[in-house]
Structure 1
Amino acid sequence: MKKDQVTITDLARELNVSPSTVSRALNNSPFISEERKKVILELAKKMNYSPNQLALSLLNKRTKILGVVVPEITSYYFSTAINGIQDKVGSSGYKLMISQSNESFEEEIRLMEAMALVRVDGFLISPSSNTLNYDHFEKIKDSGFPLVIFDRDCVGLEADKVVVDDYSGAFQAVEYLIQTGCQRIAHITGSTNLSTTQHRRKGYLDALQNNNFPILEDLIVIGDDSSSESGVACMQKLLDLRQIPDAVFCYNDAIAIGAMSVIRERGIEIPDQISLVGFDDEPYSSYFKPSLTSVWQPIYDLGLLSAKILLDNLEMEKENPNYRFEVLKPELVIRESSRKII
């Protein structure tokens, strides 16, 4: 059976003093003698007294809890971002309430409503791939909750945002493939709803156009999602073309790994016959044979900065009309799956 929590009233009854005297002593009031403070603190320790956090949060109008909603928790990308968030907020005394939407718009709304009911102090959200309507974000803002959108942009929504320059990362990758002598550069995309997908595709297209390469629609294959299975299906389509590509820029590393398995099954040499580039630079990428060339993203810093902006807003205790839009820079990490520059 769960024991009742020791209260200030219980301590006061034991010492035959008023609850207000105990409260002042526990809060190190200068109006209580050091001798009495010592007696009260020793009893509190002996009786395993701990403050009622709910009562304190109601008194301070703060729960010291931040709501975090991401598409998935177990992936390297989002777990690393959450580490950055945790490291930033932990030193400020905040706790995280973390949930995953599983790329569901409806689940994202449900989770945010549940978090609002328990009065989290603010939200850090990476929208689902199916989030095309932002009314729930507007509702949260109108209710007075600070909100930071990270990783995936919500175009048209006025809010603080922290993203990575996906366009620049894709442009770097494709221009590098061109410099290595590749002529037929394919692209396997992710979900078309995502801003990250759109920006990476734009970087791919602009890199080709800036180098006077033709845009060949049969070399652009749209994936159902961002999984290795999608990479397998899309790569099979590319290898069934009459003239196969000599390079493939993939939306992420998971897709690239799926593509790599198909290329090797067909007996095609990487990178001699096909160069392969991913995006995210996940830890396993360097352990494949051949190791995967990929675009590194500052994911930890993404989480860290997102949390800092939210904490800054909470400290201001008033609405900031000047929303921040922070863009972090990625870097191309060259490994064995792509040719050397000729």
Structure 2
Amino acid sequence: MIGVLMSTEYREQGKIFQEDYHGALIASIESRIREAGYFMLLYGASNVNEAVYALRSWQVDGIIVLESKPADTAQFLSVLTEPTVFIDGAVSDQTEAIYNITSDDFDGGRQVGRYLLAQGLSRVAFFADEEMPFGVDLARFQGLKSVSADSRYFTLSVEKKIRLNQFKQWISTGNLEKFDALFLSSDYFATDILSVLTEMEISVPNQISVIGYDDGPLAEFAQLSTIKQDVLGKGKCAVDLLLAKIEGKEIYENEILLPVQFINRKTVKEK
């Protein structure tokens, strides 16, 4: 049995399956685990100790951890003896190297910044759900900032009702006029923002450009410009790496970076 662990507040609040990205990722993991002759145990916990206790009670052969914060990653490494692979695991400078599968999110942010600059759009507001960004959100913002120095970071709640009200308040206090484009950390957030802009009769892309991240069905339906990442490949790579660890095979790379691609649709104002 392979344990798949969701360990942050975001997943504890039951939001994980509301996004195309996480549903597709978990489906990919489960499919590859089943192909390899294992069963999958999907588990969410409020802290690392609870998670480790639960997984060990099921005597799992290996563990995949989804999107752990730096402090959680360090704690997992200190207590786990089972073969473990992280997906989008975040580490501090003091943490030892981990086996990690992630997209090249820095390049994703950089691609967004470069495309927007080519359209004369240099003032970009980036939105994610952490007061202090880490992991993939931090990499995306840093990539954006590397080519668009005027970019700024803003936080939105994981709770949809609160998030929509926060964004309406953000607009009502005159922030929208300070930016040329909005870059959201997920398509899920971006489509919410598009609905608010439509409700407030703000034209996209004539008055403001909007870009998401993931390129799931939501993005295609909304004709949203976004960054495409290989979600299915990410899940498969994680399972294959874990199986290699379980089987004691020699592993030459600790971290695998999967390429991403900017997808232009109808929400960026062209020159």
Cα pair distance change 1:199/1:126, threshold 3 Å: same
Which of 60, 69, 79 does residue 5 from structure 2 map onto? 69
Asked whether the 8 Å contact 2:86–2:99 carries over to 1, the reply is: yes
User: Partner residue of 1:198?
Assistant: 138
Cα pair distance change 1:183/1:202, threshold 3 Å: closer
Could you state the TM-score of these two structures normalised by the residue count of structure 1?
A: 0.68
CA–CA distance in structure 1, aligned partners of residues 88 and 168 of structure 2: 26
Asked whether the 8 Å contact 2:20–2:218 carries over to 1, the reply is: no
Asked whether the 8 Å contact 2:70–2:91 carries over to 1, the reply is: no
Report whether the alignment pairs 1:147 with 2:84.
Answer: yes
Q: Any stretches of 5+ residues in structure 2 without a counterpart?
A: none
Corresponding letter in the other structure for 1:175: R
Report whether the alignment pairs 1:301 with 2:233.
Answer: yes
| Aligned pairs (5 A) from 1:105-254 | 106=47, 108-129=48-69, 131-132=71-72, 134-141=74-81, 145-155=82-92, 156-191=95-130, 192-209=132-149, 215=150, 219-225=152-158, 229-230=162-163, 232-234=165-167, 236-238=169-171, 240-241=173-174, 243-254=177-188
Corresponding letter in the other structure for 2:232: Y
Q: CA deviation at 1:202?
A: 0.4
Q: Any stretches of 5+ residues in structure 1 without a counterpart?
A: 1-64, 210-214
CA–CA distance in structure 2, aligned partners of residues 111 and 168 of structure 1: 32
CA RMSD of aligned residues (A): 2.5
Equivalenced residue count is 259
Cα pair distance change 1:201/1:263, threshold 3 Å: same
Asked whether the 8 Å contact 2:184–2:212 carries over to 1, the reply is: yes
Corresponding letter in the other structure for 2:115: Y
User: Partner residue of 2:215?
Assistant: 281
3-state DSSP of counterpart to 2:212: strand
Cα pair distance change 1:245/1:226, threshold 3 Å: farther
CA–CA distance in structure 1, aligned partners of residues 235 and 159 of structure 2: 21
| Aligned pairs (5 A) from 1:246-265 | 246-265=180-199
Identity across matched positions, percent: 21
User: Partner residue of 1:32?
Assistant: none
Task: Tell me the alpha carbon deviations over residues 66-101 of structure 1, each in whole angstroms, 9 at most, x when there is no partner.
Answer: 111125452322221222222222222111111134
Who wins on radius of gyration, i.e. which is larger? 1
Cα pair distance change 1:267/1:250, threshold 3 Å: same
Could you state the TM-score of these two structures normalised by the residue count of structure 2?
A: 0.85
CA–CA distance in structure 1, aligned partners of residues 208 and 133 of structure 2: 28
